[in-house]
Chains A and B, each alone.
Chain A
Amino acid sequence: MRKLLCLTGVFALLASSAAYAAAAGKISVTDAWVQAMPPSSSISAAYMTITNNSSQNVVLSSASCDIAGAAEIHQMKDDGGMMRMSMVASLTIPPQGKVTLKPGGYHLMLIDLKKPVNNGDVVPISLHFKDGETIKVNAHARNQ
């Protein structure tokens, strides 16, 4: 019984902090995942949905990841049968809008991996926004 109460307490706390984050935070990040790669790979890519709950543009200007030498904002494009990957300087999320990073589109390229990204791993990634805000997300590694 005590255990149950304790658990209920934890859930209440979690629920209230989540509600607080959603109400107070102008940016929310959901469904963060990383492409699990063969152990010999030195690169991977992270995907997620970034939602802007505010009435002003939100600009993602950079990202960082402890297990990667560099994390960059990239875009993959199918240009008439040519797949093109390029680096982009920043990503703007419009007011009350969202941007989904997904295979074949935007991604955070993780370069010079210091350890392999295995299926099931949790990869912490920090998103740095132009206004100075940093959001930390845990991206789960899986095969697409």
Chain B
Amino acid sequence: MRVINKFSLVLLLGVCLSAVNCTKQVAQSVSGYGVLNPQRDFVLHDQDGRIFHLKDHRGQMVLLFFGYTSCPDICPTTLSKLARVYELLGPQMRSQLLTVFVSIDPQRDTPQKLKEYLRYFKINAVGLTGTKAEIDTVINAYKASYTKEETSSSAMGYMFDHTDLLYLIDRRGKTIHLFHLEDPAEQIAKIIQGKAALSHG
């Protein structure tokens, strides 16, 4: 009896571990997502009201993520963490890595709001917005998703559910790695460094 119990416990553990591994692997392997943004371009407006084309940033690596400024923890935490990533990468990489924060909340996140928000985190970042249709085009290109949840009970009025990925895009506009927003800064910096060295060759 005891043997069986032990065996089933080990089995159960094994299943749990592989389940965790699987989701992580699928999420982090770019190939699992098919080709992301095959055009390697998109158009939105930046925090200064200028038109932003991804293809104007060839030669720079890009860290792309989707969020909104009235998000209480994931968004500010991610931006604070990216500040740490920049620190770890050193001054030379700073200008070569552009953080792109795409807001999914055009109603509240005006360019001015995005500008003030991003300035606070002191990183090389742009904040992008557009019409809902323009934002959805980018969301779809990266196979991300979000839903706006209207709520009459909360003073927020509405909130968002959104995917939690951070896209690493190389100097030619190709998505080469996916991070989870909760991945530690050290891990993110290390992978960026590795990929940067590769794409130089």
Contact = CB atoms under 8 A, between A and B. Distances in A.
A80 B27 CA distance: 10
A70 B70 CA distance: 14
B73 interface: yes
Interface residues of B, number: 33
Interface of A: 35, 37-45, 69-70, 72, 74, 76, 78-87, 103-104, 107, 109, 111-112, 143-144
A40 B70 contact: no
Interface centre among B73, B159, B160, B165 (most CB of A within 10 A): B73
A87 B153 CA distance: 8
Nearest to B112: A40
Interface in B42-93: 69-74, 76-77, 80
Contacts of B121: 38
A141 B181 CA distance: 22
B70 A41 contact: yes
Given A70-B155, A104-B74, A109-B156, A82 B163 contact: yes
Interface of B: 23, 27, 69-74, 76-77, 80, 113, 116-117, 119-121, 145, 149, 151, 153-156, 159-165, 181-182
Contacts of B117: 38, 40-41
Interface centre among B72, B80, B121 (most CB of A within 10 A): B72
A144 B72 contact: no
Given A85-B159, A109-B156, A144-B80, A41 B73 contact: no
Contacts of B160: 85
B163 A45 contact: no
A38 B119 contact: yes
Given A38-B120, A80-B23, A82-B145, A107 B164 contact: no
